[in-house]
Structure 1
Amino acid sequence: MLRLERLRADHEAALLAFERENREYFARSVPDRGDAYFAEFPARHRALLAEQASGTCHFHLVVDDGDGELIGRVNLVDAEDAVADLGYRIGERAAGRGAATAAVGEVCRLAASAYGLRALTAAVTLDNAASAAVLRRTGFTPVGDTVLDGRPGTRYRRALDAAH
């Protein structure tokens, strides 16, 4: 089992450790965040909290209920007109065990019930079959082509209602 925790100031150290531990793993499927991301992490963390306080973004840590370990992130960004963009990443040690599907499913429920969103969008590169599978399993449907960091991809969308 896992749980989502809304991002807080006291998550900073654990989140930085998670990102450092999984940097090479994430870079295999998404562009690396670069050294500046890690060097400027405290300021970036404060900026995320400010965005969240404004209501335009909702950031969450994915925590393993069994041992309390931070295993991923799932975020809703750029909320406007009751639609937000979904992003997520699960660390290497938890990959392939359904954590991404469970976290995305849970954030879809929160998006509708707690944040008042009516739809979510997401995008994945064509070579990221695992992320595309998570989106399909959680009710997202392809709506068009896109380019992500110079790589071809697909845009997805999922309508939400208060029951989901």
Structure 2
Amino acid sequence: MPELQRLRADHAPALLTFEQENRAFFTASISDRGDDYFAHFAARHEALLAAQAAGTDHFHLLVAEDGEVLGRFNLMDVADGTADLGFRLAEKATGRGLATAAVHQIFELSATTYALTSLRASAAVTNTASRAVLIRSGFVPTGEEVLLSGKRGLAYVRELPA
């Protein structure tokens, strides 16, 4: 059974493989990270770990028993009891409820470990899979439209239990 793990330095190789192998799949529903992201991956990974150590962000990976990264679940811009949730799941891991289960684990961590009271999220209108995960997980549309790398999207919010 895959395990949700807090991002660590030793995750870098498996995370890079995850991003490379799923690049085309991700680009179909969200904007491409660009070649620069991959060329400077090591520095980017170190920056994520620094932000995590500072407490402004919390990054998590869904890791298979063999160490393969199946997904990312990030809490970003942590402030005043709230954060933005972002996630992506490997193409081969979709359709099995893994994203929904991981989001529920993020709720638990958010409330107990990070002392958050609510989460915000957004998804492109065309990204029906992510929007379905958000709705199944109890996120409520705010009615606000957002632009996500030039794509029309919808904003959501989820209050967390105390």
- TM, length-normalised to structure 1: 0.95
The match for 1:16 is 16
Q: Percent identity?
A: 55
Paired position in structure 1 for 2:25: 25
**C-alpha distance in 2 between matches for 1:69 and 1:154:** 31
1:131 equivalent in structure 2:
130
What is the alpha-carbon distance in structure 1 between the residues aligned to residue 148 and residue 36 of structure 2? Answer: 21
Map 1:4-153; keep pairs closer than 5 Å.
4-65=4-65, 67-143=66-142, 144-153=144-153
**Is this contact kept in 1: 2:2–2:64, CA < 8 A?**
yes
CA RMSD of aligned residues (A): 1.0
In the alignment, structure 2 segments of 5+ residues that lack a partner are: none
SS at match of 1:109: helix
Name which of structure 1's ranges 118-127 and 143-152 shifts more when overlaid on structure 2.
143-152
Q: Measure the CA separation in 1 of the matches of 2:107 and 2:17.
A: 26
d(CA) in 2 for partners of 1:17 and 1:48?
A: 17
What does the per-residue CA deviation read over 1:49-68, in whole Å, with 9 as the maximum and x for residues that have no partner?
00000001000010134x44
The count of aligned residue pairs is: 161
What TM-score results when the alignment is normalised by the length of structure 2?
0.96
**1:151, CA displacement in angstroms?**
1.5
Q: Is the 8 A contact 2:4 2:62 kept in 1?
A: yes
- Paired amino acid for 1:40: H
TM-superposed CA distance for 1:73, in Å, is 0.6
Instruction: Provide the rounded CA distance (Å) in 2 between the counterparts of 1:24 and 1:129.
Output: 17
> Which amino acid in structure 2 is aligned with residue 159 of structure 1?
E
Structure 1 segments of 4 or more deviating over 2 A? none
Contact 1:74 1:89 in 2 (8 A): yes
1:25-50 CA distances to partner (integer Å, 9 max, x unpaired)?
A: 11111100000000000000000000
Q: Secondary structure at the match of 1:96?
A: coil
Structure 1 alignment gaps of length 5 or more: none
Contact persistence 2:14–2:68 (CA under 8 A): no
8 Å contact from structure 2 (residues 59, 74) kept in 1: yes
Aligned to 2:155: 155
SS of the equivalent of 2:56 reads coil
Whichever residue aligns with residue 123 of structure 1, its letter is S
